[in-house]
Amino acid sequence: MTYHLTTEELPKIVREQQLLRAGDRVILSGTVYTARDAAHKRIQTEMQEKGVNGVPFPLQDAVVYFAGPTAAPPGRAIGACGPTTSSRMDPYSPLLLDAGLLAMIGKGERSQAVCDAIVRNRGVYFCAVGGAGALAAAHITQCEVIAYPELGCESVKKLTLDAFPLLVTIDSHGGNLFAEGRAQYAGANR
């Protein structure tokens, strides 16, 4: 199934109605925040010291995109902005999900601890197409550095998406395209 959604609609669709299933396509518009390894480490430290008030953006029902965008060329909101490998954020993701994070966007598999936290918190993990950062950037209309500017491309940024294509990869019911794909492949090769 394909859904055209805004980030404002996601909490109702994901948490209340639990409509999204692994394999669904989502065309997403609205506000998301970028954060990669260095920013996640800082956020975790700030949360340990200050609680959720230490997070540089409102965490409740937020969407985090694991990306480190390049500088914007003239006339563009942002440079290339493809997803980074999500497993590098696995040590931090359960904490953020437990504190209210709704969704993550990245590429690649997640640990069992992250999968469990997604189910426990009625969240969702989306995958974006890797290797297509310039194409992804065409769906970003605004970019603002909001925290840790000294981290350069890994600073936390507030992005505005316009029809950004995503795939539901891990859903709030425990559906997981990576696990399902492996099982399907193993069954076909018996």
Position 67 pLDDT exceeds 80: yes
Report d(CA 63, CA 28) in Å as an integer: 11
**Token representation of residue 136:** 């992804």
N-terminal to C-terminal alpha carbon distance within the chain: 30
Domain count, the chain: 1
Structural domain of 134: 2-188
- 33 pairs with which residues across the strands? 64, 158
Per-residue pLDDT tens for 22-52? 999 999 999 999 999 999 999 999 999 998 8
* Whole-number pLDDT of residue 54: 85
Q: What percent of the chain has pLDDT over 90?
A: 89
* Whole-number pLDDT of residue 131: 85
Position 188 pLDDT exceeds 70: no
Average pLDDT, the chain: 94
Task: Determine which helix (DSSP H) or strand (DSSP E) holds 158, and give its type and residue range.
Answer: strand 156-170
Position 102 pLDDT exceeds 70: yes
Alpha helices in 14-138, H assignment, sequence order = 37-50, 93-98, 112-120, 133-137
Amino acid at position 122, single letter: R
Position 80 pLDDT exceeds 80: yes
3-class DSSP assignment, residue 79: coil
Position 181 pLDDT exceeds 80: no
**CATH number of the domain that residue 156 is part of:** 3.20.130.10
**In which region does residue 106 sit, left (phi positive, over 0), alpha (psi from -120 to 50) or beta (all else)?**
beta
**Token representation of residue 64:** 């985090």
